[in-house]
Amino acid sequence: MSVERKKLLRKELFAIRKSSAENKESVTSIQRRLYGKLTSLPYKSLGFYWAIKTEPKITPAVLHWLADSSDHLASLPSTEQDPMRFRLWNPGIEVKARKFSALEPTSSRFTLPELLIIPCLGFDSQKYRLGYGAGWYDRYLASRNGDRPYTIGIAFEECHVDTIYPDSFDIPLDEIITQSEDLA
């Protein structure tokens, strides 16, 4: 697919996601569904995103999961290097705005999360995601080789498209959670 076509698809999906993000019930439903999923999985460490722009806000679900056990660890992406890495985060660790206005923890401890929660601008039934186009998550997953984390995409169901026209470097997710379905 041409770069221009993906730019147009992103523009369309940004508008759809903006409208969806204004629906507080949808956001709350994603948080509930994500927390339910987290409690059903065996993982003790996760990497997640701190929502920017119109991404679904998932931090409340992560905070609830962290409170469930002192064994649980959370981390946030750090884009100081390529591929990105994940820095340990908890409510006591300060975050600062970095690249793309994303908040990154000031912690100096890096982790290799067993589970990775990834924002999706759009997604298709084959569980490919469309992001902002910089490729950070795809490069990170490729760098993990045989030690790839379990991946959950977070999206609004209205951003489900027939295909995102994946490129050879795109990596499908293990599942995608929306406000009303779990594509596993």
DSSP symbols for 105-163 = E----EE--SEEEEE-SEE-TT--EE-SSS-HHHHHHHHTGGGPPEEEEE--GGGB-S-
Are the beta carbons of 34 and 152 closer than 8 angstroms? yes
Backbone angles phi, psi at 129, to 5 degrees: -115, 150
Global confidence as pTM: 0.94
Q: Per residue of the chain (184 residues), what is the pLDDT tens digit?
A: 567 888 899 999 999 999 999 999 999 999 999 999 999 999 999 999 999 889 999 999 999 999 999 999 999 999 888 899 999 999 999 888 876 667 788 889 999 999 999 999 999 999 999 998 888 999 999 999 889 999 999 999 999 999 998 988 899 999 999 999 999 8
What is the three-class DSSP state of 15?
helix
Backbone angles phi, psi at 81, to 5 degrees: -125, 165
Are the beta carbons of 98 and 136 closer than 8 angstroms? no
Are the beta carbons of 57 and 51 closer than 8 angstroms? yes
The helix or strand, by DSSP H or E, that contains position 24, with its residue range, turns out to be helix 24-40
